[in-house]
Amino acid sequence: MKCCPSCQRLYADDAGFCPIDGQALAGIDEVPIPSDPDDRRIGQKLCGGRYEIRRKV
């Protein structure tokens, strides 16, 4: 998976740019998770690291 460093949306591995804001996509492990002082769950991993909370929906 690839991730947009600006909007944090996820895309398939063959995508190159975010269609929302035009940013170049990076590997999901390369994009830092933005912190949210109002929600400490952002960035946490669940189910033995299988899932990661990246943003509010």
Does the pLDDT of residue 7 top 80, yes or no? yes
Bridge partners, residue 45, by sequence? 52
Does the pLDDT of residue 2 top 90, yes or no? yes
Distances from the Cα of 13 to the Cα of 27, 36, 43, angstroms: 8, 27, 21
Q: What are phi and psi of 8, to 5 degrees?
A: 70, 15
In the prediction, which pLDDT does 21 show? 92
Distance CA 14, CA 50 (A): 22
Distance CA 57, CA 49 (A): 20
- Grade residue 11 by pLDDT with cuts at 50, 70 and 90: very high
Whose structure tokens read 């996509």? 25
In the prediction, which pLDDT does 34 show? 73
**Residue pLDDT, tens place only, 15-52:** 999 999 999 999 988 888 777 778 888 888 889 988 88
